[in-house]
Amino acid sequence: MLRRKKESEHNYKDERMAMVDKLKTWGYLKSKKVTDAMKNVPRHIFLPEDQKPYAYEDRPLPVGKNQTISAPHMVAIMAEALDLNGNEKVLEIGAGTGYHVSVVAEILKEGSVFSIEKIEALAKKAKENIEEAGYTNIKVITGDGTLGYKEEAPYDSIFVTAAAPDVPPPLIDQLKPGGLLLIPVGSRYQQTLTSITKTKDGELKKKNQGGCVFVPLKGKHGWKG
């Protein structure tokens, strides 16, 4: 009995399943693919030691360098909105800990995902976390994600996990026709999660996906300073 308890404390499996159940009950998790992905990705691996005990609470947590990992419900909302088949090429802006991109990588059985992180120390840690979690279809790049990542463009989907004052034009340019950009746009302290579909004839169709609060997207097409 004691042994079983110790084991579950160690790998947080019970806590993770309980979190997934709550996200389902609350309506954030809808599809089997996103539900399975959130069951499989161990969020505690991505957190600093002192935050691991809170890994399966539904809230953002500090991860150093003034940055936060998003709340699990936000990861679920965004992963559902991307509506991936599993063979796409995807770009994330704001790798942070590497957790969110790992949830996407878990869905992309045949696809791949690139993630840009501006803060070098976080990019390095994200790579280590991703390696520990065992994902081989993720590449983390250090740089200014408001410029996108031309080397691998165009993408089926791009998602941004930091708050933008406006939509950075390079991200629209680097989307395939029919592609989807998911980005929080608004003020520094409150944003609207916005999905933008680029139609086959290059038109942009915007949809409001609800309110959210992210740390600022800095860089050429983001907040200055």
Which residues are near ligand SAH by CB under 6 A? 67-70, 93-94, 96-97, 99-100, 116-119, 122, 144-146, 161-162, 215, 217-219, 222
Residue nearer to ligand SAH on the CB measure, 94 or 186: 94
First to last CA, the chain: 54
State which amino acid sits at residue 91: L
Residue nearer to ligand SAH on the CB measure, 100 or 198: 100
Shortest Å, Cβ 203 to ligand SAH? 26
Can you tell me the distance from the alpha carbon of 197 to that of 194, in angstroms, rounded to the nearest whole number? 10
Residue nearer to ligand SAH on the CB measure, 170 or 205: 170
Helical spans, DSSP H, in 160-208: 169-173
Residue nearer to ligand SAH on the CB measure, 100 or 127: 100
Shortest Å, Cβ 110 to ligand SAH? 22
70 is catalytic: yes
C-alpha dist (Å) from residue 116 to 27, 67, 80, 123: 30, 15, 21, 8
Active-site option among 8, 31, 70, 195: 70
In this structure, how many other beta carbons lie within 10 angstroms of the beta carbon of residue 49?
7
Shortest Å, Cβ 76 to ligand SAH? 12
Whose structure tokens read 């990588």?
Answer: 105
Supply the residues annotated as catalytic. 70
